[in-house]
Amino acid sequence: MNWLENLAGKIIAITHGRTTAFFIAFFLSGHAMALFGKLTPTYIGFMGTLGGLVLGHSIKEDMLAGRNGPAPGGQL
Q: Confirm whether pTM is higher than 0.75.
A: no
In sequence order, what are the residues at sequence separation of 6 or more whose Cβ sits closer than 8 angstroms to the Cβ of residue 44? 30
Domain positions in the chain: 2-68
Closest CA to 15 of 2, 24, 7: 24
Q: What Å distances lie between residue 75 and 18, 39, 61, CA to CA? A: 12, 35, 11
In degrees, rounded to 5, the angle at the alpha carbon of residue 52 between the alpha carbons of residues 51 and 54 is 65
pLDDT at 76 over 80: no
Return d(Cα 31, Cα 14) in angstroms, integer.
Answer: 21
- 39-68 pLDDT, tens per residue? 889 888 888 888 888 888 878 887 887 788
